[in-house]
Chain A
Amino acid sequence: MKILVCISNVPDTTTKITFTGDNTQFNTAGVQFIVNPYDEIALSRAIELCEGGKGTVTVVNVGESATEPTIRKALAIGADDAVRINAAPRDAYFVAKQIAEYAKSNEFDMILCGRESIDYNGSQVAAMIGEFLDIPSISIIKKLDYDGSTATIEREIEGGKEVVTVSGKFVASCAEGTAEAKIPNMRGIMSARTKPLQTVEAVDVPELSKISKFETPAPRGSVKLIPAESAEELIGLLHTEAKVI
């Protein structure tokens, strides 16, 4: 079995988000980059499915050379090898097209992504890869079992879950529950240095969208404190002042 896991290089979750160039560029100064947390879940499940010599896990990232430390982190977690498609990730369509082109010339039984990246919050790449390859894609999954030919997948739906089976190749985007994110151990960190990391060139993709500006949310007004002894006053305030109940 061969599994391809797509990883994004994203700012650490504790990052204070600021912009430069008249709010047109994300300010990367002093920012720690990490493997997108959802992609780590996807990677962890892929590694579990391949345990005991049942298969191999390749991670793919679309990024410039600066993302290599993040790719090495994925190798330290336990991926067998890695591919970096050498291009700045423009938008989800661009990234999905690059990965789909790579997957076309390299056979994989399944392709796993995280449910969304925590930077631009698109949950687009997985389903777009599915469409480019004309294979099923299941978005926002919570459970994935695979018997060697058929996958049984639980997908999140509003107020519940749906169980789906797929035989043959597929793409899935993983949410919490699919696996516990693995933490690299010392052996993993040492071996990551020598695991294969291949670089391939990007294909041309038409531009369909671009980010023209960023905004930060308007600051909230100051908090109105209600003494704990008269907590019941909250209901009146929510009804008459905030008008939300």
Chain B
Amino acid sequence: MSVLVYVEQVEGKFKKSVFEAVSYAKAIADQQGTSLSAVSIGNVADSELNELGKYGASKVLKVEADQLKNFVNQAYAAVIAEAAKKEGANIVVLSNSFSGKGLAPRVAVKLEAGLIDGAVDLPTGDFSVKKTAFSGKAFAITTLTSANKVIALNPNAFGVKENHTNITIEAFSPEVKSSDLAAIVKEIVRATNKVSLPDAEIVVSGGRGLKGPENWGMVEELADLLGAATACSKPVSDADWRPHSEHVGQTGIAISPNLYIAIGISGAIQHLAGVSSSKVIVVINKDAEAPFFKVADYGIVGDAFEVVPKIIAALKAHKG
């Protein structure tokens, strides 16, 4: 019995959310009195794989077949399930990323495992795990009663914890059926200069109060200065002022950054659902009655076009 963590690489590198998943999986391995193995698929340099040892993995299975260069969930799930069998792992941990969401369910079916996605805490007693439910309006404590278990961890829920361990790298080449590669990746478009929203530690978000897409310059400037991702409310993406991929809320992306700054967003229940697990919330709105102030940690009642430039100037001064 052991724990296996899938470490998703992006262009040969691991992101913070991967180290977080490794840290979380290591904590579970410690709970279970067992060791942690990782499985990496695609081309990743050994120096990068060795990084996983910092967070508690004692072994990494390196799967580098050319046909697995691009993410195809059907094939990747087959590899992860084979890795779990090889390692005798009954618990598989992944990050609840876009790719993870397509992968974890397939792994769970292959292993006839119960699956918890959106986990926000470690398992307790009878393997009960707290997960988000009702789009952030509640949590569901879900118990996995199956012998095999799969957990997809929400970004920013556990944090990265160092746990230096000697790590060995082992090449692993399970057979992949050609039918598992039926989906063909034609193109990957990734904005390299932007922080991705689900992983972001700080998010600056704009609403209808900004009056039009031409006024997003200050939102982007503030985000750049903070190393933050930009986001928006539903009316803004519905009006095509900003892309749908930036819409946070109940029917958009649910996020839980350390800092969420909402500018000109009134805070409808559907919006709050997607952002209320942010650790610190700042609300800037000219309407003192805006419901968002009720869940904010810091609030400024004022005109965004006067307030935000002041904040930008103060931030520039703060950064020296």
- A residues apposed to B, CB below 8 Å: 11, 13-14, 16-17, 19, 37-38, 91-93, 96, 116, 118-128, 130-132, 134-140, 142, 152, 155-168, 170, 175-177, 206-217, 220-221, 223-228, 231-239, 242, 244-245
CA of A130 to CA of B72, assembled, Å:
13
Q: Once the chains are docked, how many angstroms separate the CA of A236 from the CA of B315?
A: 9
Residues of chain B within 8 A (CB-CB) of A224 are: 297-299
Give Cα A212 to B189, complex, Å.
41
Whether A160 contacts B183 in the complex (CB less than 8 A), given A92-B115, A208-B146, comes out as no
B270 at the interface (CB under 8 A from A): yes
Q: A213 to chain B: which residues have CB within 8 Å? A: 128, 140-141
Given A124-B105, A124-B117, A209-B144, is A118 in contact with B186 using a C-beta cutoff of 8 Å? no
Contact of B103 among A127, A166, A212 (CB under 8 A): A127
The chain B residues found within 8 Å of chain A, CB to CB, are 10, 15, 71-74, 77, 97-99, 101-106, 108-110, 112-118, 128, 130-146, 179, 182-192, 194-199, 202, 226, 237, 244-245, 247, 250-252, 254, 258-259, 269-270, 273, 276-277, 279-284, 293-303, 306-307, 310-311, 313-315, 317-318
The answer to whether B139 touches A163, judged by C-beta atoms less than 8 angstroms apart, is no
- Is B102 within 8 A of A232, CB to CB? no
Contact B294 A138, beta carbon cutoff 8 Å: no
Q: Which residues of B contact A225 (CB under 8 A)?
A: 293, 298-301
Chain A residue contacts of B300, Cβ below 8 A? 225-228, 231, 234
Name the B residues within 8 Å of A136 (CB-CB). 72, 74, 182-183
Residues from chain B with Cβ under 8 Å of A234 in the complex:
282, 298, 300, 311, 314
Which residue from A125, A223, A237 sits with its C-beta under 8 Å from B283?
Answer: A223
Residues of B within 8 A of A211 (CB): 140-143
Quick one: closest A residue to B303, CB to CB? A228
Contacts A176-B247, A214-B141, A244-B202 known; A140 to B101 CB distance under 8 Å?
yes
Contact B299 A226 (CB under 8 A): yes
Known contacts A123-B105, A157-B99, A209-B115, then 15 further A-B pairs from the complex at CB < 8 Å, ordered by chain A residue: A17-B134, A118-B134, A118-B135, A119-B134, A121-B118, A124-B105, A131-B74, A155-B102, A160-B190, A161-B188, A207-B145, A224-B297, A225-B300, A234-B282, A242-B297
A93-B109, A118-B250 known; A158+B196 contact, CB < 8 A? yes
Inter-chain contact B106/A159, CB cutoff 8 Å: no
- Report whether B190 and A157 are in contact in the complex, using a CB–CB cutoff of 8 Å: yes
Q: Are A223 and B102 neighbours in the complex by a CB distance under 8 Å?
A: no
5 pairs across A/B with beta carbons < 8 Å?
A: A16-B269, A139-B102, A170-B183, A208-B146, A223-B297
Residue from A138, A142, A220, A245 having most chain B Cβ neighbours under 10 A: A245
From B10, B144, B183, A208 is in contact (CB under 8 Å) with B144
Bound-state Cα–Cα, A214 to B130, Å = 9
Of all chain B residues, which has the CB nearest A24? Answer: B141
For residue A140, which residue of chain B has the nearest CB? B98
Check B303 against A158 for contact (C-beta < 8 Å).
no
Distance to closest chain B CB from A245 (angstroms) = 6
Do A214 and B139 have beta carbons less than 8 Å apart? yes
Contact B102 A128 (CB under 8 A): no
| Residues of chain B contacted by A17 (CB below 8 angstroms) | 134, 137-138
Q: Are B191 and A220 in contact (CB under 8 A)?
A: no
User: Nearest A residue to B186 by beta-carbon distance?
Assistant: A163
Q: Out of B133, B194, B244, B269, which one reaches A176, CB within 8 Å?
A: B244
Residue of B nearest to A217 (CB): B276
List chain B residues, Cβ under 8 A from A19. 138
